[in-house]
Structure 1
């Protein structure tokens, strides 16, 4: 037995290992949880603190020396990955343990100024948005990649003829590329919805206090700028009460998940031995522990399973939110919100797996075309030719139906069985029919459709990049402001 065989790489029939990215998604679920939830929370809190202190200093609410001392100590904690805070008991939550550490280090006169003009309520509303940025960004990047793969493969396979199916039966001839472009259209709508849903992520709730704002003359627009938000919340009640962005993101992700699941079902059917229309590459299939002959496109099952993650999360989050009044509420800010990140992660995994499968799957061209012929998919086109030659549609429909029946009884193709003056020789070949169906967004218009979808993707990509750039610019601006505040005090 070779080393490769021992590791499960060479199964006899399969000679390649599972794609590394697919392996991470499918099998890392069995590894211990590696996300650092406490660290993520502390990093977001400290980021908000830095922006808040810069703003308080600029407004003259806190003197520069005390602010600089706090900023230096917060910076040291960040460099230490918050090790001193991690070791503390947290009977009243993460923030109060963290603030208590700063007060213990610097004294109440310095450490005690941190919470000026704010509450844990608006702080939590702000940090939730900051924590959502990374998984939201990951989902957008995955959707962007999937859309690009679908459109690239749609162009590559634009002229590959296959039967479209309705009710599981061959219907009309289309291109495999036309089908992929159709899926791309659904993915791009979801991309648009996700970007729209993310707008509430860009509203800064900091400054709303517990629920009634504050009498301290703070400047939420400045903290918004430093944290990469594009606006400040105009109403303090809404700022701390609402987590609607959670529902909006999960809703958009759930709709995307439906598209993914439906595509996964099609591909699962078409990759079966009975259909044999598609072949998935060896790095994207699995074998059987018992049956040596198997090539299982099992990633498609994971796509179908994970595509519903956001739907389940939406139901759970919405159900939790309905129990809380329109104020700061644990049911809303904690219990509902906790469903967001697993929902986004599951959808991201499904999107990534579908990208891999679409990129690594090739159509069985001859088989596809043979099924288009044997399925009499040119029958509708034949009926339409008779209509354009003057036959009423229902009569044409009946005549062609009888022709198909006769072809089945005699074992002939539709082309051989048809004897209509309105149809020239060779006109019923599926590729010619496909090309002729250029109206109503049919396969004859695929090239133009791909061009339009590509332009839409470019616009969405630019909007997504602009949002990410604002977040990065805010982080850079904040780091610069903190450095200047600390340096200016040292030079005094």
Structure 2
């Protein structure tokens, strides 16, 4: 049996190749590229006609055939992995619908190489726009919560120890800022993606007098990739978008870790509705934060997928190759799916997380996180250096902790005991000033 796609090859494709390369690739790729193949084919046909490179009657028959294929959908296209990939299967069906002679016209002045590169950029552009939309939804969720909880006082943590009073709204504002940078990174990559490779041919352009700018415009690209070899070889746009997705994932893993700790029984600062929780098969009391665990785990997957793409493409000749242009993209498409799913879940987490306002207030009143405000007061009112003030307040915190007192129980008398120990003199302050400086709500209001 001879090859179904080439007269150069005197044998048909080996069963092992068909079963292990072409069949699984075709099953995954064809649904993803079918709409883009329709667009690329129609744009290329119109350009060929306008350039006078195709007979009008052949162009008309091809236009009708392409419209029919698009209308009937991909289910009407018989798939045969022995003829390799999505493009050859589409072309075989087109030649059945339009006739082999007319159907064969359409491949004039192009190659699978520039077609694949074009579809990769179209798909990557769609992914980038979807990511921007979903990141925007996460950002809106964070900002909505920030407005609602502008005065929901809670401890701010460094090293997972109480640090200074903040509000839950302030924390959500930080999420919004981080996501804003994610959006900007994706926008920057989308602008790099938005160049059309079509017309580059296999790697060296074409002898036909085509109009690359026309097809680029028809396909919604801002410009053409100017260099033919670069057009078919480049996949750095995918690596850059995958890098942006991975940075985003590292960010959401950190948010998830905060929520993961805060929703524990020991912290008890955040609760989630039952609809976003899981349970145990043996322990009836369990309410597990499965979505947070999923998000933390997926960040690791994104890092792995970025590493896989980089490792697959590195050292590949700078031209079209199966490992660089196909295998190197597999992890990219998977990463896009994982990232979009995770961002939908992150939006759910941000919107559904419910702060325990009383628990937050109770914790921040007693955990000495407003000690910095007291230290600042001693500098402003008593003329101490900050290091002197730091020592005095540190001593009063230790004194209170030894007596099992909270920050809301510290008074001027305790402060002066510490001041005499550290400085040899008491402080000219009122008890009201001391207590006011330790008030968490006053601290966050500035």
- Partner in structure 1 of residue 328 of structure 2: 336
1:228 & 1:156 partners in 2: Cα distance? 41
TM-score normalized by the length of structure 1: 0.78
8 A Cα contact 2:142 2:172, kept in partner: yes
Q: Match of 1:402?
A: 395
Query: How many matched pairs?
Result: 402
TM-score relative to the length of structure 2: 0.86
* Partner residue of 1:411 out of 404, 411, 415: 404
Q: Which has the higher contact order (CA 8 A, sep 6+)?
A: 1
From the CA coordinates, give the structure whose radius of gyration is larger. 2
Distance in structure 1 (CA, Å) of the matches to 2:232 and 2:95: 26
Aligned residue among 155, 165, 182 for 2:147: 155
Match of 1:380?
Answer: 372
SS at match of 2:157: strand
1:229/1:434 CA distance change after superposition, 3 Å: same
Residue 328 of structure 1: SS of its match in structure 2? coil
Q: Deviations over 1:10-45 (max 9, x none)?
A: xxxxxxxxxxxxxxxxxxxxxxxxx96323323322
1:428 aligns with 2:438: yes
Cα distance, 1:365 vs structure 2 = 1.0
Matched, 1:203 2:213: no
1:261 corresponding residue in structure 2: 253
Q: CA separation of 1:113/1:169 partners in 2, compared to 1, >3 Å: closer, same or farther? A: same
Q: How far apart are the structure 1 equivalents of 2:79 and 2:271?
A: 54
Structure 1: gaps of 5 or more residues: 1-34, 437-492
Task: Provide Cα deviations, 1:58-110, integer angstroms capped at 9, x if missing partner.
Answer: 11111222111011112212222244532445334332233234334444542
Contact 1:253 1:311 in 2 (8 A): no
Among 44, 56, 73, which residue is 1:64 paired with?
56
**Residue in 2 aligned with 1:473?**
none
CA RMSD in angstroms, aligned pairs only: 1.8
Q: Distance in 1 between matches of 2:428 and 2:272?
A: 43
Residue 298 of structure 1 is matched in structure 2 by: 290
Which residue does 2:239 correspond to in 1? 247
* 1:366-425 Cα shifts (integer Å, max 9, x gaps): 111111122101111111111112100111000001111111122333343342544354
User: Could you tell me how far apart the structure 1 residues matched to 2:360 and 2:76 are?
Assistant: 64
1:81-480 aligned at under 5 Å gives the runs 81-83=73-75, 85-88=77-80, 90-389=82-381, 390-419=383-412, 420-422=427-429, 423-436=433-446
Cα offsets for 1:124-162 (capped at 9, x unmatched): 101112233444333222211100000100111110111
CA contact (8 A) 1:139 1:345 kept: no
After superposition, the Cα gap between the structure-2 partners of 1:407 and 1:189, relative to the gap in structure 1 and judged at 3 Å, is: same
1:5 matched residue in structure 2: none
Residues in 2 aligned to 1:187 and 1:138: alpha-carbon distance in whole angstroms? 14
Distance 2:88 2:348 in 1: 45
Q: Distance in 1 between matches of 2:273 and 2:100?
A: 64
**Cα displacement (A) at 1:352:** 1.3
